[in-house]
Structures are given as structure tokens and as C-alpha cells.
Structure 1
Amino acid sequence: MKLLVRNLERKTTEHEIRVLFSTYGTVTECNLVLDQETGLSKGFAFIEMPDEKEAKAAVENLNLSTVAKSKIRVKFAQN
């Protein structure tokens, strides 16, 4: 299941996001979207979690939680 994480602190790394979501299950892919010109985070990422129960747990527990002083939003990505 593909998840969209928005409103990330610009300094948050892909590794930090992967570790955060790994608490709820297996993360097969983590893609932090970067600005091509600056190389800095655009503040959102896509996470791939193959197990539906684990993905739902991650959404329920992490949506509107505070990570690095930012209240993140987590939802299922549109295909």
C-alpha cells in the first residue's frame, strides 16, 4: 500500500521517515521528494508498505502527529 506523507519538516531525512514508519511494520520503499535545483526536501514523501494492516496502523497512529516540530499528515496515496 502506498502512503503519502505531507507537511514534513524540510530537514527531515529519508532515513528518519523510514525508521518512523518501520515502527508499524515493513517499509519496502521510502521516497522523499526533493527539489531538483536545491536538493532540499519539498516537505512530502511516499512510503510503500506491503501489509495492509500495518499500513492502516501507520496512517491511524502517525496522521496529525508531530515530527520535528511539524504536524504531519499521512493518508493513502491515490493511484
Structure 2
Amino acid sequence: MKILVRNLERSLTEDELLELFKPYGHIDSCTIVLDQETGKSKGFGFVEMSNPKNAVKAIKGLNTLKVKGIGIRVKAVEDK
């Protein structure tokens, strides 16, 4: 399941994002979207987890969690 993580503090690294999700199970991928021109974080990213139950637990457990003083927003990416 692909998970969108928004409202990330711009200095948060992919490794730090990965550490937030690790307690919820195996993570297939973890990326923070970067601005092509500046190379700096755009403040959101994606995490993919193959186990849907673990992904739902991660969404519920991490949504609104304060990370570096900012409440992050976590939700499943809807298939179109």
C-alpha cells in the first residue's frame, strides 16, 4: 500500500522518515519529494508497505504525530 506523508519539516531526511515507519513493519520504499531546481524537500513524501494491515496501523499511529515540532499528515494514496 502506498502512503502519502505530508506536512514534513523541510530538514527531515528519508532515513528519519523510514525510522518513523519501521515499528509498523516491513517498508518496501521510502522517498521524500525534492524540488528539481533546489534539491530541497518539498515537505511531502511516500512510503510503500506491502502488508495492508501494517500500513493501516502506521497511518492511524502516525497521522497528526508531531515530528520536529510539526504535525504530519499521513493517509493512503487512492488508486485511480
Query: Which consecutive unaligned segments of at least 5 residues does structure 1 have?
Result: none
Identical residues among aligned pairs (%)? 52
What TM-score, normalized to structure 2? 0.95
Does residue 9 (structure 1) correspond to residue 34 (structure 2)? The answer is no
Matched to 1:57, the amino acid is: K
Residue number in structure 1 paired with 2:59: 59
Residues of 2 paired with 1:68 and 1:27: CA distance? Answer: 22
Q: Cα RMSD over matched residues?
A: 0.6
Deviating runs (4+, > 3 A) in structure 1? Answer: none
Residues of 2 paired with 1:51 and 1:17: CA distance? Answer: 18
Query: Which consecutive unaligned segments of at least 5 residues does structure 2 have?
Result: none
Residues of 2 paired with 1:73 and 1:41: CA distance? Answer: 16
What TM-score, normalized to structure 1? 0.97
